[in-house]
Amino acid sequence: MSQTRLTLFELNSLVRGVLETTLSSAYWVEAELSEAREVRGHCYMELIQKDLFSATPVARASAKCWKTQWTRLRPKFEQITGQPLHAGMKVLLLVTVNFHEAYGFSWIVQDIDPTYTMGDMARKRLEIIRQLKEQGIFDMQKELSIPMFAQRIAVISSEHAAGYGDFCNQLETNDYGFVFYPKLFPAVMQGEQVEHSIIAALNDINAQAQQFDAVVIIRGGGATADMSGFDTLLLAENVANFPLPVITGIGHERDESILDMVSNTRVKTPTAAAAFLIGNLANVWTHIGNCQDRIVTCVGQRMERQRNRLNRCADRIPMLFSLVKTRQEARLDRLAAQMVSLIGNRLTQNRHRLQLICTNIRPAIARRITRENNHLEQLDIRLKALDPHTLLKRGYSITLHKGKAVRDVSEVKAGDEIETQVENGRIISIVR
């Protein structure tokens, strides 16, 4: 059976004709950007739609905004939303169909509704704020106090940003001559790397947190449209939980990022951050001066009161001395009278006691002498009874050897000379 055969170009031309005939109108389409890039003045976008529950893409398409349209749409979009088109952004586009035989199908962007994106951004910001408050960390930085002598400053900024130079210059040339010690922790302050870069810098600071008094996050020289990097949940969580007070100076008066909301102190610009730190030290200096003045005043008042008190005491001393002297003299007189009375009483008592002793001592002495005489007589009788001569008179004898009485035969041996005493003499004998 014969079939009509078409070349690819013919088939694509047929498809193009059908699409241009069927989809001849412009359509407003809601989508999320998975990619947005600018090439030679044209903007190329990749659109997706995600499943509501799994976040899996269920539709994809390419879209282009030609240079003539993009030149007109971009400034308006960025002025209203405050940021450029970037991946993850929800957009509402007015598109027309385009099918090219060589390049395939795409949507041509005719208009962009920035208010739709603003609404989606606002919803995201509100959701992030809700999560931070639900975790109880939204106001944690506000509970920290900027140290009175905050001079060691960790600075997160782009190394070559003009704002960083202005910040350091203002600190160094302050009118008070205060000395600050800023240390830079370089970070990307615009684009898609903002979140990751600042968190990495915070981690480096946290590893040596004891060396700093506060953290300053500043951004200078960037466009207002690059603020989206400071509106992320992960960055806000890191700042809210940071142990040191964080000062932000990343935007302009009308721009307040979520990072500003969770920080300890938010100022407009890098120079305003420097002015805040200088003002903090100036307030401390003023407070110290006020305290010094108060101390001088209080000491002066106290010295004046004490001087007056001493003068009053000096005036009262003669009178008080006279009064004390009179009282002490009267007291001494009373003590002297009491002493004379006590001595007289004590002498009378002792005199009476001596009289009693004298009265009782003679009979006691006589009785004692009598007892002692009796005792001596008894001893004399006992002594006479024990006298050896008394024994000799009774017919007993005493045998002596070398002047000692012999009580046992074993005390002498043959040939020893012994002496026997009797009543009327002594007998010398030799032992055999």
Q: What is the pLDDT of residues 289-322, one digit of tens each?
A: 999 999 999 999 999 999 998 888 888 888 878 8
- For the chain, the residue count is 432
β partners of residue 230:
none
Is residue 235 in a domain?
A: yes
pLDDT of 362-383, one tens digit each?
888 888 899 999 999 898 888 8
Residue 227: the pLDDT is: 66
Residue type present at position 304: E
Q: What is the mean pLDDT of the chain?
A: 86
pLDDT of 256-279, one tens digit each?
788 888 999 999 889 999 999 999
Is residue 402 in a domain?
A: yes
C-alpha dist (Å) from residue 22 to 16, 25, 29, 97, 106: 10, 9, 17, 10, 15
Q: Which of 284, 303, 322 is the C-terminal boundary of a domain?
A: 284
Cα separation of 165 and 249, whole Å?
Answer: 14
Higher pLDDT, 413 or 150: 150
- Same-domain check for residues 141 and 273: yes
User: Which range among 38-42, 101-105, 219-223 shows the weakest confidence by mean pLDDT?
Assistant: 219-223
Cα separation of 44 and 38, whole Å?
Answer: 6
Residue 173: the pLDDT is: 93
Is residue 296 in a domain?
A: no
- Same-domain check for residues 166 and 230: yes
Average pLDDT over residues 220-232: 65
In the predicted structure, residue 37 carries a pLDDT above the cut 80: yes
| pTM for this model (two decimals) | 0.55
| Percent over 90 (pLDDT), the chain | 42
Average pLDDT over residues 16-28: 84
Q: How many domains does the chain have?
A: 3
227, 251 in Cβ contact below 8 A? yes
229, 239 in Cβ contact below 8 A? no
147, 117 in Cβ contact below 8 A? no
pLDDT band for position 8 (cuts 50, 70, 90) = confident
pLDDT of 89-122, one tens digit each?
889 999 999 888 888 888 999 999 988 887 777 7
The residue to which tokens 């241009």 are assigned: 20
Strands (E), 147-245: 152-157, 181-186, 214-218
- Same-domain check for residues 27 and 154: no
- Same-domain check for residues 140 and 111: no
- Same-domain check for residues 43 and 95: yes
pLDDT of 124-144, one tens digit each?
878 888 899 999 999 999 999
249, 219 in Cβ contact below 8 A? yes
- Same-domain check for residues 172 and 87: no
Residue 280: the pLDDT is: 94
Strands (E), 175-300: 181-186, 214-218, 246-249, 265-266
Residue 253: the pLDDT is: 54
Average pLDDT over residues 337-347: 91
Strands lying side by side in the sheet with 152-157: 181-186, 152-157, 214-218, 246-249, 265-266
Is residue 348 in a domain?
A: no
- Same-domain check for residues 151 and 280: yes
pLDDT band for position 252 (cuts 50, 70, 90) = low
Q: Which of 237, 267, 284 is the C-terminal boundary of a domain?
A: 284
Residue 153: the pLDDT is: 95
Closest to 259 (Cα-Cα) out of 282, 284, 228: 228
- Same-domain check for residues 107 and 191: no
Contacts of 80 (CB under 8 A, 6+ apart): 114, 115, 118
- Same-domain check for residues 81 and 194: no
Q: Which of 284, 312, 345 is the C-terminal boundary of a domain?
A: 284
397, 420 in Cβ contact below 8 A? yes
Is residue 298 in a domain?
A: no
Q: 72: domain CATH number?
A: 2.40.50.140
- Same-domain check for residues 93 and 148: no
Instruction: Look at residue 25 and give its three-state secondary structure.
Output: coil
86, 190 in Cβ contact below 8 A? no
pLDDT of 158-200, one tens digit each?
888 888 999 999 999 999 999 999 999 999 888 778 889 999 9
| Percent over 70 (pLDDT), the chain | 96
In the predicted structure, residue 215 carries a pLDDT above the cut 90: yes
Which residues form the domain of 148? 136-284
Contacts of 378 (CB under 8 A, 6+ apart): none
Dihedral pair phi/psi, residue 99, rounded to 5°: -135, 120
pLDDT band for position 16 (cuts 50, 70, 90) = confident
- Same-domain check for residues 228 and 200: yes
Is residue 23 in a domain?
A: yes
107, 29 in Cβ contact below 8 A? yes
Tokens of 5: 């055969």
In the predicted structure, residue 1 carries a pLDDT above the cut 50: no
Residue type present at position 193: Q
Closest to 190 (Cα-Cα) out of 93, 34, 74, 78: 78
Is residue 401 in a domain?
A: yes
Is residue 353 in a domain?
A: no
Higher pLDDT, 225 or 331: 331
166, 220 in Cβ contact below 8 A? yes
pLDDT band for position 221 (cuts 50, 70, 90) = low
Closest to 146 (Cα-Cα) out of 266, 272, 271, 253: 266
- Same-domain check for residues 174 and 247: yes
Cα separation of 166 and 161, whole Å?
Answer: 9
C-alpha dist (Å) from residue 152 to 162, 167, 212, 269: 21, 14, 5, 19
Q: 145: domain CATH number?
A: 3.40.50.10550
